[in-house]
Amino acid sequence: MAHPKGNINIRNRKASFEYELAEKYIAGIQLSGTEIKSVRNGKVSMNDSYCQFYANELFAKNIHISEYELGTCNNHPAKRDRKLLLNKKELQKLERKIKESGFTIIPTRIFINERGLAKIEIALARGKKVYDKRESLKQKDTDREMGRAMRY
pLDDT greater than 60 at residue 1: no
pLDDT at residue 26, as a whole number: 92
Which CATH number applies to 9-151? 2.40.280.10
- Mean pLDDT of all residues in 56-81: 79
Identify whether the C-beta of residue 120 lies closer than 8 Å to the C-beta of residue 107: yes
Rounded to whole angstroms, the Cα distance separating 106 from 95 reads 13
Q: What is the pLDDT of residues 125-150, one digit of tens each?
A: 887 777 677 877 888 888 888 888 88
Q: What is the pLDDT of residues 83-106, one digit of tens each?
A: 888 889 988 888 888 887 878 889
Identify whether the C-beta of residue 75 lies closer than 8 Å to the C-beta of residue 67: yes
